[in-house]
Amino acid sequence: MGGRPIQIEVLDSTSDAATATLPLERALSKGGYTSVIGNSNSSIALTMLPILEKYKVPTVTGAAANKAVSEQGCSFVFQPAATSSSFIPTQLDFLAEYAKRIGKDVKDLKLGLLYSNDAWGTDQSNNTRKQVSQRGLKLVSDEGYEGSSFTDATPLITKIQNAGVDVILPSAYPNDLKLIFTAMNTLNYHPLVVGGGAAMTWPSLYKDLGDKVNGLTSVDSWCWDQKGAKENTGWMEMNAHYEEKNKEFLAGQGGPTLFSIMLAYEAVENAKSDDPVTVRDELRKLTKDNSKWFGVINGNGDFDDTTGLNTGSRAIIMQWQNGKPTSVYPPEYATGELLNPDTMKPFEKK
Amino acid sequence: MLQVIINGLLIGGVYALVAVGITMIHGVMKIVNFAQGDFLAMGLYFTYAMYSLMPQGSLPYWLLVPVGAAMYLAGCIFFSTTIKKVIGKGDSNYILLTIGLSYIIQNVIQLIFGPDFKSVAVSDQLRNGALALGSVSLSTARVIAFIAAAAFAVFVNWFLASTDIGRAMRATSENRVIAESLGIKTSIVFITAFALGTVFAGISGLLISPIFLLSPKVGSQFSIIAMSAMVLGGLGNIKGALIGGLIIGLVESMTSSYAGVLLSQAAINAVLMLVLIIRPYGLFGKKGRAS
């Protein structure tokens, strides 16, 4: 930019909130950083905040979905992606739409909540319970678990199956999801699945489940073919390059991370400076109306001046079709058609 | 209820195999190997690497011999370069050493294979297949893992009772000094025991390769369970480790099914505490001896 090369340094957060701050502190203490991108894991993003405040370097957090990240009083955090406060209403609105398509009342469906007991999972589950109660829906199963702690999900799924659950709302990471879906297949138990994002939207799910992944749905802050992305030529060029190089689609964490990089890039361009405080101030000014990239994310993009939360971001529902996720709901952001998960064909009109 | 019990026994069989490995090491060398779960991870990754050379849809179990051989060699190398130095040299050196070994293994795996989750691309039939026995539905991969684990348990019993090296291992575990005075080469016994313990963990990894995703830290949860099974059964007691593994599998399954997954670890530890209160040396352990 301006004749100067952009250096991107990748730091390993170790995927452990307890030690994630060490590489960040070590890096920022050396100085010379204009901005940070990440972390898409809310637990880790939370631990980063004091370090960012200390060294006055802004971060754009990628896909971190727990609103608490922008509620800690840190003035250097920007949370662009939809949070669980948007995830849950979208999931339940989608459920109402699904119920209508199969000729049922959504209040007759029995819901089962299954979540990883970390910042993201508990945030999702708390919001779900609140929303389910407000809408008068039936929550018949509510199971939390320590992520990556069980080696067999069959007892858990047996319990959920015995509760008569029609719709499972899982918020889980890859290995747990594998065990959950394998157990469901073993028990020949196929409720509607409306996942809470994360591993539900990753390419590894298809590599792992094969064609059995088709029909599964999930909410997320991102789907590679959402309207805002498809309508942005520059974005689709990067998307094509990514797919060619990596032989897979830009997944649920990847999209918001790239989006965060482009916002930071745009802020540096606007600031005409690499001073992190100046870049932070430019990030605050970005909106859907003045930014080349903000429209890629669903909703009316605008960072709150105090918290850094993108208050206008909205979640999207994707459905796995032909081994790839397709955005299917809500219609204002989606480009694909929702198929009946049982038949993988359009719903019959009722 | 029957489904719950069988689920527990199936996973308990795999726990038992990992526990047998760690028990064998402790029984002979009187050290607890905190890297046992990471040896399981190594077995998983060896399986992953070798499986990529096989035709798609092959059974990973054909890799039993090459994975076992690779793990045996790895065990010999680990023992010769690290573990050998601390045997009989103090009460706690081995703790830091094996914990350090655990971190090294995790990081080397991550350097070579990367941090992303991976899976062994077995056939859909194996990955998602189920056997129906009346009202009970059993995962094909888990049934195979259990049968294989049971076969290894029988092998271990035969090995320890009927082979010269097995008898030498039992003698060394009873009393090293007397064993040496009777002409037993304890250096050979130690390396064999450690390598075999490594093999058992690695084979466990192979057996669960259709069931689990691979990640550098996948072994950590098995380390804890294996140690619990070992203590529950009695330190150094192979039969105890087997029974301990099955009990832990059952407790985990029943608690998850009837109380909640979040309580399963608490339940396992509660059972462990209860057993130790009643029998301080474990179900089959004896004071001052190890068989």
Q: Report pLDDT digits (tens) over A280-317.
A: 999 999 998 999 999 999 888 889 999 999 988 999 99
The Cα A242–Cα A205 span in angstroms is 19
Which residues of A have a CB under 8 Å from any CB of B? Answer: 12, 15, 117, 143-146, 148-152, 154-156, 158-159, 174-175, 178-179, 182-183, 185-188, 204, 207-212
Tokens of A322: 């032909």
Tokens of A215: 């029909």
Closest CA to B28 of B192, B164, B259, B181: B192
Question: Which of A144, A155, A182 has the CB atom closest to B253's CB atom?
Answer: A155
> CA-CA distances (angstroms) from residue A125 to A99, A142, A143, A195?
21, 9, 9, 12
Range from A63-72, A90-99, A226-235 carrying the lowest mean pLDDT: A63-72
Comparing A151 with B71, the larger pLDDT belongs to B71
**B66, pLDDT greater than 80:** yes
A154 with B213: Cβ contact below 8 A: no
The Cα B191–Cα B197 span in angstroms is 10
Which of the 8 DSSP states describes residue B24? H
Give me the total of CB pairs closer than 8 Å, taking one residue from chain A and one from chain B: 105
Find out if CATH 1.20.1260 is the number for domain B2-278: no
pLDDT for res B263 = 87
Measured on CA atoms in the order A291, A297, A298, A304, is the torsion positive or negative? negative
> CA-CA distances (angstroms) from residue B269 to A260, A295, B85, B188, B266?
44, 52, 33, 36, 5
The Cα B87–Cα B85 span in angstroms is 6
* DSSP track, A118-180: SHHHHHHHHHHHHHHHHHT-EEEEEEEE-TT--S--HHHHHHHHHTT-SEEEEE--HHHHHHH
Helices of type H across chain A? 21-30, 42-55, 84-101, 119-135, 154-162, 174-186, 203-209, 227-230, 233-246, 254-271, 276-285
Average pLDDT, chain B: 88
B128 with A151: Cβ contact below 8 A: no
The Cα A72–Cα A68 span in angstroms is 7
pLDDT for res A350 = 59
pLDDT for res B78 = 93
Question: Which of B4, B116, B213 has the CB atom closest to A175's CB atom?
Answer: B213
B14 with A151: Cβ contact below 8 A: yes
pLDDT for res B289 = 47
- Averaged pLDDT, A219-240: 94
Question: Which of A15, A149, A174 has the CB atom closest to B213's CB atom?
Answer: A174
pLDDT for res A3 = 63
pLDDT for res B287 = 67
pLDDT for res B90 = 66
The Cα A273–Cα A109 span in angstroms is 55
Give pLDDT tens digits for B166-207: 888 888 888 888 888 888 888 889 999 999 999 999 999 999
- Averaged pLDDT, B215-244: 88
pLDDT for res A112 = 95
Contact A323, A211 (CB under 8 A): yes
Quick one: closest CA in A to B265, which residue?
A: A149
Closest CA to B48 of B67, B65, B35: B67
Contact A108, A163 (CB under 8 A): no
Backbone angles phi, psi at B137, to 5 degrees: -120, 125
A207 with B261: Cβ contact below 8 A: no
Quick one: closest CA in B to A185, which residue?
A: B128
Which pLDDT band, with edges at 50, 70 and 90, does B291 fall under? Answer: very low
Report the run of H or E that residue A193 belongs to, with start and end: strand A192-195
Which residues of B have a CB under 8 Å from any CB of A? Answer: 3-4, 7-8, 10-11, 14-15, 115-117, 119, 121, 124, 127-128, 130, 137-139, 142, 211-213, 215, 217-218, 221-222, 225, 252-258, 260-262, 264-265
pLDDT for res A315 = 94
Residue B202: partners with Cβ closer than 8 Å, 6 or more residues away: B39, B40, B42, B43, B46, B67, B68, B70, B71, B74
The Cα A262–Cα A219 span in angstroms is 23
Q: What is the largest CA-CA distance in chain A?
A: 64
- Averaged pLDDT, B159-165: 88
pLDDT for res A1 = 62
Span between the terminal Cα atoms of chain B, in Å: 35
Which pLDDT band, with edges at 50, 70 and 90, does B261 fall under? Answer: confident
**B38, pLDDT greater than 70:** yes
Question: Which of A156, A158, A182 has the CB atom closest to B139's CB atom?
Answer: A182
Chain A residues near residue B225 by CB distance under 8 angstroms: 151
The Cα A60–Cα B176 span in angstroms is 61
CA distance B5 to chain A (A): 9
* DSSP track, B261-281: GGGHHHHHHHHHHHHHHHSTT
Report the run of H or E that residue B144 belongs to, with start and end: helix B140-162
pLDDT for res A232 = 94
Tokens of B154: 């029988």
**B150, pLDDT greater than 90:** no
B139 with A188: Cβ contact below 8 A: no
pLDDT for res A30 = 92
**B89, pLDDT greater than 80:** no
**A16, pLDDT greater than 80:** no
CA dihedral A228, A124, A209, A240 (to 10 degrees): 20
* DSSP track, B44-65: HHHHHHHHTTSPTT--GGGGHH
Measured on CA atoms in the order B106, B109, B113, B118, is the torsion positive or negative? negative
**A96, pLDDT greater than 50:** yes
The Cα A303–Cα A307 span in angstroms is 8
**For B90, left (φ over 0), alpha (ψ -120 to 50), or beta?**
left
Which pLDDT band, with edges at 50, 70 and 90, does B137 fall under? Answer: confident
Domain boundaries, chain B: 2-278
A156 with B8: Cβ contact below 8 A: no
Tokens of B72: 């045996």
Which pLDDT band, with edges at 50, 70 and 90, does B109 fall under? Answer: very high
- Averaged pLDDT, A15-44: 87
Contact B201, B21 (CB under 8 A): yes
**What is the value of pTM for the model shown?**
0.80
Measured on CA atoms in the order A245, A249, A253, A254, is the torsion positive or negative? positive
Q: Which percentage of chain A shows pLDDT scores above 90?
A: 62
A154 with B261: Cβ contact below 8 A: no
**B290, pLDDT greater than 70:** no
pLDDT for res A282 = 95
Residue A237: partners with Cβ closer than 8 Å, 6 or more residues away: none
pLDDT for res B288 = 56
Quick one: closest CA in A to B9, which residue?
A: A152
Which of the 8 DSSP states describes residue A343? T
Chain B residues near residue A148 by CB distance under 8 angstroms: 217, 221
Contact A101, A128 (CB under 8 A): no
Which residue is associated with the tokens 């039939």? B125
